[in-house]
Amino acid sequence: MPEVRHFQQSALQFQSYAGEPIERAAICRLIGPADSQTMGAGLARFDGVSIEWTVLYDELIVVLEGHFRLRLADQVIEAKPGDVIWVPERTPLAYEGEKACVFYALYPVDWQARNG
């Protein structure tokens, strides 16, 4: 059985996301398929960037810092710290922000394996 894990902020390690410089887009994957059979979770940062993607999972986003935007085909969601966004599987979007840090949770954790 998996053990409870404590992720201390001082030990978090971000890496570049979507080929962008780490100061513009970064991700810190906390929970993945090696940790859970059901859900994934992590943190992401966006600053002056737009990253297009079609989510292959259900995703919940909680804005922690800065100004976060989720650009959809027919609307733009402007979110501030404390706002929560739910994104259903197969939604085309763009992640954007100014000094934004978000927490995300996704299901299923093995979305990559399921989608080849």
The pLDDT tens digits of the residues spanning 64-98 come to 999 999 999 999 999 999 999 999 999 999 999 99
pLDDT at 116: 80
Q: How confident is the model at residue 61 (pLDDT cuts 50, 70, 90)?
A: very high
* d(C-alpha 50, C-alpha 25), whole Å: 9
For residues 115 and 106, the answer to whether their CB atoms sit within 8 Å is: no
Average pLDDT over every residue of 20-25: 97
Q: How confident is the model at residue 30 (pLDDT cuts 50, 70, 90)?
A: very high
User: Per DSSP, what are the bridge partners of residue 16?
Assistant: 26
Residue 1 reports pLDDT greater than 80: no
For residues 39 and 108, the answer to whether their CB atoms sit within 8 Å is: yes
pLDDT at 3: 87
pLDDT at 37: 93
